[in-house]
Amino acid sequence: MSALMVNDSLDFNALKELLELTDGNLASHLKALEQQEIIVVSKQFIGRKPSTTYKATEHGKDLFRRHVEVLEQLINHS
């Protein structure tokens, strides 16, 4: 989510490289985020090659911001 918070969108390969995950591991995480409407998936063809991009929804961004706020509170009060 942090990668999608600072980028408008990222494609599957960029996320895979950035996070150093396997295809299957990344796909399962992305599917879970999509099911919760935290991200949206866009599939298209660039030339003859399929491209899948991911973007954080406003709901997802709000959830992530709240998550970071809670983490900051934990850090500041320990």
Domain boundaries, the chain: 2-76
pLDDT in tens, 14-36: 999 999 999 999 999 999 999 99
Beta strands in the chain (DSSP E): 10-11, 39-46, 49-56
User: Considering the entire predicted model, what is its pTM?
Assistant: 0.88
CATH of domain 2-76: 1.10.10.10
Instruction: Categorize the per-residue pLDDT at 46 as very low, low, confident or very high, splitting at 50, 70 and 90.
Output: confident
Distance CA 23, CA 25 (A): 6
CB atoms within 10 A of CB 4: 20
State residue 2's pLDDT score: 95
